[in-house]
Amino acid sequence: MIFDHISQYLGQKIKALRYHFLKLRLALLGQGTYQIQGFTEIEQWGQQQAVNQRIAQWQTLVTESGNTYKYKVDPGAGKPGFRLIRESQRSLYLGNNAGIFSHKGIVYHQHQGAIVAETLEDWETDHFYSVEFTKIRYDAEILLEGLSFSLCSLGSQDNYCHFLLDSLPKLYLARNLISEIDQLLISGPATKYQQKILDFLDLNIPRVWLDSGDQYRCQQLLFTTRLNNTLHACPWAVEASRNLLLSRYLGKAHQPPHKTIFASRKSAQKRRTNLEEKVLELFPEAEVIDFATLSIEETIQVCQSCETFVGFHGAAFANLIFCQPGTKVIEFQIENTLHNHQYYFFPLTQQLKMPHHIHIFPQNISPDQEISLLKQAVHHSYLNVSSYAESQSPVHELT
């Protein structure tokens, strides 16, 4: 456990040092072959400079404005109060002869030497300090004919939650054009959860998986802005994924919510904890679910029957989008292991009117403290979700 924390800490420091080094290099040497530009600038340049339609057709197909929402943070998370979540403008773009690079889905215009700013992604970092695009090469492109659509998004290559709430909403924004798409471009390498979700949607479209250094030139490319501009999933993205997936399930016979579900992390690659089995002993009525082993239809079926959703923080909590409004949520966390992620699911649960309580365990619990702390945590959590069921405010749109 201590070794894991040390490794995680050193990894973050090395990543930060590398980022600052590359940022310094950009400041001293410039951006190199490509310059970062907003899509509107690239679109206008194409209209002014193009001799033929092939270059000119960089255009905005769909634009929707985002809203600003206020949500309340549970006092159990340590910092009670209200937070704001601002949705970014949502746009769907078409680029002819467009380049795309890496699993992050960075789009570029080779004729103009421009990187599309709206496709540069790095959590909580100004995209004008992005350095990933400096690895783009002229001689490494593979041509994709026809119409390609990019589902690439940050984190979706190795995190179920980000694929569900960052990549899938792109499909919803382009839902009227899906029948015209020749291939999907997806953050890779391919994972079981990505395949399961796309199969459930009956998307029988060829899939191209983009790894960190992959580079393609698309005869035509559909791509979107970043639909979540913070670590949180915005209300629009949550509803988009729910509409895509639940519309294929609802209408089938299902029972009213009646189960307590415990989302197991035993098969998780990180943040596993030896507290899970001991917490489970205090939920004798709970059905233990490893969501990684279920199909999407089975996942929805389990969640639709869920009255209380319990577990340690992780991507499995994204499955709350399949639960019915009013589902009680008890989330356990380990102190100092989540950094800025501890509030990630609060906007989602309040949007769906789900009473949600967090209990944070100390990082190191002595055997003498363990049982009493666990019992107190479970008792306190049940009391809180019961009281919040009546008093918790949903996410409010600000005008």
Average pLDDT over residues 142-169: 94
Structure tokens at 89: 């403008």
pLDDT for 60 beyond 90: yes
**Any idea what DSSP says for residue 165?**
I
Give the Å distances, CA to CA, from 301 to 160, 207, 242, 323, 328. Answer: 18, 27, 14, 9, 17
**Any idea what DSSP says for residue 250?**
B
Average pLDDT over residues 229-258: 83
pLDDT for 241 beyond 90: yes
Average pLDDT over residues 205-214: 94
Average pLDDT over residues 142-171: 94
Average pLDDT over residues 49-58: 56
pTM to 2 decimal places? 0.83
Structure tokens at 351: 């949007």
Most confident of 181-185, 188-192, 226-230, 395-399: 181-185
Dist CA 334 CA 373 (whole Å): 13
Dist CA 19 CA 335 (whole Å): 27
**Any idea what DSSP says for residue 164?**
I
Least reliable range by pLDDT among 225-229, 235-239, 394-398: 394-398
Least reliable range by pLDDT among 27-36, 138-147, 200-209, 247-256: 27-36
Selected residue with higher pLDDT from 40 and 269 = 40
Dist CA 226 CA 238 (whole Å): 14
In the block, tokens 């899906």 appear at 178
Dist CA 275 CA 365 (whole Å): 10
| Residue 193 confidence (pLDDT) | 94
Reading phi first (left if > 0) and then psi (alpha if -120 to 50, else beta), residue 356 is in: beta
CB atoms within 10 A of CB 290: 14
Taking the C-alpha atoms of 122, 137, 114 and 230 in order, what is their torsion angle to the nearest 10 degrees? Answer: -10
| Chain centroid, CA 341 distance in Å | 12
Dist CA 212 CA 206 (whole Å): 20
pLDDT for 54 beyond 50: no
Dist CA 67 CA 45 (whole Å): 30
Average pLDDT over residues 144-166: 94
| Residue 399 confidence (pLDDT) | 43
Dist CA 364 CA 5 (whole Å): 12
Dist CA 223 CA 375 (whole Å): 49
Percent of the chain scoring above 90 in pLDDT: 39
- What is the residue-averaged pLDDT of the chain? 80
CB atoms within 10 A of CB 301: 17
Q: How sure is the predictor about 1, in pLDDT bands with cuts at 50, 70 and 90?
A: very low
87-112 per-position pLDDT tens digit: 889 999 999 999 999 999 999 998 88
Closest by CA position to 95, among listed 106, 107, 104, 103: 107
pLDDT for 55 beyond 50: no
pLDDT for 289 beyond 90: yes
Give the Å distances, CA to CA, from 122 to 79, 119, 191, 256, 278. Answer: 25, 10, 22, 41, 37
